Amino acid sequence: MNGDAGAMRQLTYREAVREAIREALHKDERVFLMGEDVGRYGGCFAVSKGLLEEFGPQRIRDTPLSESAFVGAGIGAALGGMRPIVEIMTVNFGLLAAGQILNNAATYLHMSGDQLHVPLVIRMATGGGRQLAAQHSHSLEGWYAHIPGIKVLTRRYHRCSRDGEGHH
Amino acid sequence: VVAPLLFVCENNLYAMGTALKLSESVTDLTHKASSYAITAVAVDGMDVLAVEAAARDAAAAVRAGAGPYFLECRTYRFRAHSMFDAELYRGKTEVEAWKQRCPILLLTQRLAEQGLLSGAELEGLEQQVAAEVEAAVAFAEAGTWEPVEDLTRFVYSERRTP
């Protein structure tokens, strides 16, 4: 905003998400981003484009193709005092990390009686309309909303999916 | 940058009820760890002093910045997995054979041989441990159930700070 009260900016989802991640990285040095191809490639949907150059390889981290492993590493980092943003390339791949998300990230706080906090953000692209075929195009946010212990944030209008991605 | 991380694997040869050799082609777990280009060492997990020495080496290497380290302690589980486990997956002779190598038995024998532990001292230690366990059970039995009002507490954080 530039002081003009009522003025509204038009952004794509991509720009909005990148801006939010940049803001979080600037505000808090505990924040870092990791996931498949988020760094050198620039992000599968170009959301993290330019962040590696701006924040360096310590805070923008490319991971192996192992969702269970890098979501688990994100949970560990969160338990250790960091504020990780973990990117899963598509919501479908999130199923490979479902055990980490459901049994660990969502459950530690309750099982530990308030001792183990997991301040972790997981970002997933979701929805069809990008010609990415059936294994990359589901909208599973409703499934994730069934898990006690995590909060699901998603776009309001699914008609907009052609303009960008939603995120959790 | 290498992570100062020590993995300790207590390999008791079984899952809940499936032998490692039945479910895995490669049963030497140090080979699997080596595939990540980290130091991988196996030790006789029934030998307390060997485990102590191996753990000291491992911790020193990690602290010196050698990166992740994998230490496999080869051991055995004497008891059933749980009270519902009828132990259909292994024979009693196998369990008895491993019991001959019980780590507590081996260590106390060694200490006794070297004159570091008398029979009376060992008995005293065992009584002390038994009393500690009994006290823990009594404490748990005397506990109260969690109030039902607390059932949904800590599903989400109640902290307000970021």
Compute the nearest-CA separation of B6 from chain A (Å). 14
- Name which of B31, B32, B30 is nearest B58 in CA terms: B30
Nearest chain A CA: its distance from B155 CA (Å): 5
Q: What would the mean pLDDT of B153-159 be, rounded to a whole number?
A: 91
A158 is annotated as an active-site residue = no
> Can you tell me the distance from the alpha carbon of A87 to that of A124, in angstroms, rounded to the nearest whole number?
6
Question: If pLDDT is split at 50, 70 and 90, which confidence band does B25 have?
Answer: very high
Q: In what order do the strands lie in the sheet with A83-88?
A: A60-62, A31-35, A83-88, A121-124
The two three-digit tokens of residue B127, written as one number: 């009584």
Q: What is the separation of C-alpha A50 from the centre of its chain, rounded to a whole number of angstroms?
A: 17
- Residue B6 host element (H or E): strand B6-11
Task: For chain A, list the strands marked E by DSSP.
Answer: 31-35, 60-62, 83-88, 121-124
Among B155, B158, B159, B161, most A C-beta atoms within 10 A, so best to mutate, is B155
Active site residue A67: yes
Q: Do A149 and B153 touch (CB under 8 A)?
A: no
- Which pLDDT tens digit goes with each residue over B54-85? 999 999 999 999 999 999 999 999 999 999 99
Residues facing residue B146 across a β-bridge: none
A81 touches chain B (CB under 8 A): no
CA separation, residue A144 to residues A97, A121, A126, B3 (Å): 12, 13, 12, 32
Long-range contacts of A98-104 (CB under 8 A, 24+ apart): A99/A68, A100/A67, A100/A68, A100/A71, A100/A72, A100/A75, A101/A71, A101/A144, A101/A147, A101/A150, A102/A147, A104/A72, A104/A75
A76 vs B: CB within 8 A: no
DSSP letter assigned to residue A13: H
Q: Chain A contacts of B159, Cβ < 8 Å?
A: 117
ipTM of predicted assembly, 2 dp: 0.80
- Secondary structure element (H or E) that encloses residue A68, with its range: helix A67-79
Residue A142 in contact with partner chain B when CB distance is under 8 A: no
pLDDT in tens, B93-127: 999 999 999 999 999 999 999 999 999 999 999 99
Question: Does the pLDDT of residue B9 top 70, yes or no?
Answer: yes
Helix axes B48-63, B103-113, angle to 10 degrees: 100
Q: What is the pTM assigned to this prediction? A: 0.85
